[in-house]
Structure 1
């Protein structure tokens, strides 16, 4: 499948590249946080955060391919706007299942620079989503939520959090899960940051008698699992596109280094061992680009069709290759790749976790195997 871009898409990616060079071209501009509110606001003002949001809510109404192009080039340019990832995933869920009022609030909010988070994992329920136990109980007029969530990206930045809670059934069952929108400042909700290799990105959430109105439900009560499955294409393409851009950046950074670094009287990149490694990595990245663009095109062709095999393949392949590229880049750069003076150690940290979040590589392989009747 050709990945030739339209003139409009080429102009869009060039504009994103230029913005990233001007606004996030140095480490001083980027800072240490994964999310820079000022840069995020500038992107909102340019209309880029609404790339996949329908025009009626202020977006540009583009498809997944354009969203993937945006994310790929933002990641390549190292623009610290990490809040967009979870926000786009939440917006897609609301666009599919939410009420008109929820769509106006969340989709319009993303276009205007709001950040949203999703709370699904729990201490005893990561890959095993059916084991969720955080519970929302219906009263006459509202919902009362109690329980804990963990590994919630960007919850500390969010205006609201899309909560996946148990409203029926029991842990171990997919039936009985419901999506609810929770204001981040809701009384009874405590957000506690988790220190990680990547800094402050994820959080524990503690719900103690958090009261939500009846209309906080997104979609249908007890049908949250089906709604989650309908969003597989979007979530996995978003994560794959980010890692495609990161892989390309890690590759280019390593290539620049080995062209200049001299040992034994010549650039280290001129040695066959490194030339061959570069050739293999470049080929793998190009395979990932073809796969990302193909799956995005399939998703745009039929937005209502779930692509379990293809979406798992794109997430698995791209995150695994990104990790391979970053680790190889660090090895080729030697001690300099490990030093914080260079960006390679950041690339390593970002790519290592990419094979875990959004469904581990092991889970993706299991899903792919099942699509072949195994």
Structure 2
């Protein structure tokens, strides 16, 4: 599903350039295995650097900070096409989501420093979850105690995407525990390498994606507060909404690619003297999956265009619908794609097993499908 029919004329060349880049740099299974060390590495610094050199990482970051001055739609097309091309660039979407918070709440100096770094190819991560604070993010206990013009941070963060490859981490911590649990939370920009900051990778079936982050007497200057001290809860919400939209764009790319891989296989594979895709059981399955992909595409495009028109607009309902629908669809396509491909889908020779490993967790991180349904239901006053 590589049609550009729904791509506006002014973005057509950009999308085509993205597809050409992906075909050239990681268009073969051999290239992808080399870049990812046989699917163990989810982010290629080499490939990320090439994107930075082309000016594409910062496509939606204002020109004043080294970006391209583009829109949310541009960023969505970027991550979608890199996902479709199977480029090992896990840090791309994570960095862009984190950058939206700095762009909205950071000082001018922070924007020049942090956003400029992202445009140059530095990975930016955000640390929210803790061992006792996952879906209930307001229950976080990582503490930052003010001492003069510094904060001293102690605590643990977990499931932190890309912390091991990041240059800096935006850490959410509690600076005041006397009020409501959603108050007294502050976002701190902490460079990786700061004394007392320790990152330990968590082994997963998806490769090197997430980490535990330990903070022991980590000293942070007060000028590294992003936004308002004690008022970061609404920043978290903006981060999560951006994360869900970006996650939707990423897994729209994965869903499209898994669909195309399955379709190519059943067109070519013959049994009983005919392509297996000609049998009604598979032909109807393809029809259902194709329709689901188109629904996902429309959801992502619509929300991105709303934000293009009004970048400050909040779209919590739409973001949760996207996260729910697209990730569940990507998982379904990978599972059904493996079924249609039979034993071939289970082998390392084909990418379907990788589609499955990537999509199976997508309905959990960035807010589980169950949490998305709660958010959507409550948005209707229920």
Q: TM-score, normalised by structure 1?
A: 0.97
State the 1:232 CA deviation.
4.0
Runs of 5+ in structure 1 lacking a partner? none
State the 1:3 CA deviation.
7.2
Other-structure match for 1:8: 10
Q: Name the CA distance, whole Å, in 2 between partners of 1:236 and 1:85.
A: 10
Other-structure match for 1:308: 316
Runs of 5+ in structure 2 lacking a partner? none
Other-structure match for 1:349: 357
Other-structure match for 2:150: 142
- 1:40-84 Cα offsets, whole Å, 9 max, x none, are 101101110011100111111111111111111110001111111
- Counterparts of residues 57-72 of structure 1 (less than 5 Å): 57-72=65-80
Q: Name the CA distance, whole Å, in 2 between partners of 1:76 and 1:3.
A: 17
How large is the Cα RMSD of the aligned pairs? 1.4
- Counterparts of residues 291-330 of structure 1 (less than 5 Å): 291-330=299-338
- Counterparts of residues 125-136 of structure 1 (less than 5 Å): 125-136=133-144
**2:116 matches 1:108:** yes
**2:190 matches 1:188:** no
The one of 203, 206, 225 equivalent to 1:217 is 225
What SS does the aligned partner of 1:231 have?
Answer: helix
Q: Name the CA distance, whole Å, in 2 between partners of 1:6 and 1:291.
A: 16
Using the TM superposition, name which of 228-237 and 203-212 deviates more: 228-237
**2:238 matches 1:230:** yes
State the 1:155 CA deviation.
0.5
**2:105 matches 1:97:** yes
State the 1:230 CA deviation.
2.7
Q: Name the CA distance, whole Å, in 1 between partners of 2:241 and 2:132.
A: 26
Contact 2:338 2:345 in 1 (8 A): yes
The one of 32, 56, 66 equivalent to 1:48 is 56
Q: Name the CA distance, whole Å, in 1 between partners of 2:293 and 2:192.
A: 38
Other-structure match for 1:35: 43
- 1:110-160 Cα offsets, whole Å, 9 max, x none, are 111111111111111100101100111000120000010000111010100
Contact 2:79 2:92 in 1 (8 A): no
**2:30 matches 1:22:** no
Q: Name the CA distance, whole Å, in 1 between partners of 2:317 and 2:232.
A: 21
Contact 1:94 1:218 in 2 (8 A): yes
Contact 2:107 2:226 in 1 (8 A): yes
Q: Aligned residue pairs: how many? A: 373
Contact 1:65 1:300 in 2 (8 A): yes
What SS does the aligned partner of 1:48 have?
Answer: coil
State the 1:300 CA deviation.
1.4
State the 1:176 CA deviation.
1.1
State the 1:7 CA deviation.
2.4
Contact 1:132 1:172 in 2 (8 A): no
What SS does the aligned partner of 1:144 have?
Answer: strand
Other-structure match for 1:173: 181
